[in-house]
Homo-oligomer: A and B are copies of this chain.
Amino acid sequence: MTKQQLHIIKIGGNVIDNSESLHHFLKDFTALEGYKILVHGGGKVATQLQEELGIEPKLIDGRRITDIDTLRVVTMVYGGLINKNIVAQLQKFGTNAIGLTGADGNFIRTNRRAVKAIDYGYVGDIDDKSIDPGNISRLMEAGFTPVFCAITHDGDGQLLNTNADTIASALAVALSSLYETTLIYCFEKKGVLHDINDEESVIREIDPKKYEQLREQQVIHSGMLPKLDNAFTAINCGVKAVIIGRSDDLGQLQSKQPFGTRLSK
């Protein structure tokens, strides 16, 4: 039996913090046919609320620590304010969205990161057993479009903060067993660029062989490497393709025009 198409789309702060961009994106998201899941990160609002509440951001070796006050803030901002406003806007456009953390429906169950040299606080790491694809599938088959924020749980009553990119990728890998899954990362550029100074120099397709060449030619700069490495890991785990592109251009996907950089086998 042919698997049905599923798009999992991750948006970050650059979309969430700009109400015009967000509005435009959510309209295009609604127009996209087939099953779809939205994953969103945070944005400036959480940092602003922390400042308003006088909570000092804690960083150790440049890494952000989620102490209990920070967890409280991100639960309110990601799980409440951002998530529910996105859902209300999607409903306006006609997407029957349901806003979720990983605790809802037990959809994403993570392990609190072990304390070694650094205690990252209430941070949850995803493993192979974190996601039960059948559970999420039942929600989608019932006619609902999941909208995930970057909060998960440990199954023992504790909410945890989890990276949104990682959530999107883990969902894509887990759901590949049931759907032909495309994972889309929206970021501020039109795609992976041949020339970092030329926004129009988008490389449209990258397969593993071309990826090797681009790295050898040092076309792909250091910041892009982990993004692409993770994308090819997802592809090797069953995801059909990963697209990296600009949220404003999502409409081009539905109209079959070139959209972003497409990574596949």
A interface residues (Cβ-Cβ under 8 A, vs B) = 49, 52-53, 72, 75-81, 83-85, 87-89, 91-92, 96-101, 103-106, 138-139, 141-144, 151, 153, 155-159
> In this complex, what residue of B is CB-closest to A104?
B98
Contact between chains at B144 and A105 (CB < 8 Å):
yes
A97 touches which of B80, B96, B104, B158 (Cβ 8 Å): B104
One of B92, B138, B158 near A157 (C-beta < 8 A): B92
Kindly report which residue of chain B lies nearest to residue A159, judged by CB atoms: B88
A83 proximity list for chain B (CB < 8 A): 79-80
Q: List, sorted by A's number, 13 A–B pairs whose CB atoms are closer than 8 Å.
A: A75-B80, A76-B77, A79-B84, A80-B83, A80-B84, A84-B103, A85-B159, A88-B103, A89-B157, A91-B153, A92-B155, A92-B157, A98-B104
Task: Flag if A158 contacts B101 (CB, 8 Å).
Answer: no
CB atoms of A143 and B151 under 8 A apart? no
Q: Which of A138, A142, A159 has the most CB of B within 10 A?
A: A142
Q: Nearest B residue to A52 by beta-carbon distance?
A: B53
**Inter-chain contacts of A159 with B (CB < 8 A):** 84-85, 88
Closest 8 CB pairs of A and B: A80-B80, A76-B76, A92-B157, A76-B80, A79-B80, A142-B142, A88-B103, A98-B104
- Determine whether the beta carbon of B138 is less than 8 Å from that of A142: yes
Which residues of the other chain, B, contact A153 by a CB distance below 8 angstroms? 88, 91
A76 and B81 within 8 A (CB): yes
A144: nearest chain-B partner, CB-CB: B105
Does A75 contact B79, Cβ atoms closer than 8 Å? Answer: no
Q: What CA separation (Å) do A87 and B79 show in the bound complex?
A: 12
Indicate if the CB atoms of A105 and B96 lie closer than 8 Å: yes
A151 proximity list for chain B (CB < 8 A): 84
**Minimum Cβ distance to chain B for residue A142 (Å):** 4
Minimum distance in angstroms from A50 CB to a CB of chain B? 12
Cα(A85)–Cα(B155), bound, Å: 12
| B91 touching A155, Cβ below 8 Å | yes
Whether A87 and B104, one on each chain, are in contact in the complex, defined by CB atoms closer than 8 angstroms, is yes
* Other-chain residue from B77, B91, B100 in contact with A98 (beta carbon distance below 8 A): B100
**Smallest CB gap from A85: residue in B:** B159
Are B79 and A72 touching (Cβ within 8 A)? no
Query: Known contacts A139-B144, A142-B139; is A103 also within 8 Å of B80 by CB?
Result: no
| Nearest Cβ on chain B to A47's Cβ, whole angstroms | 14
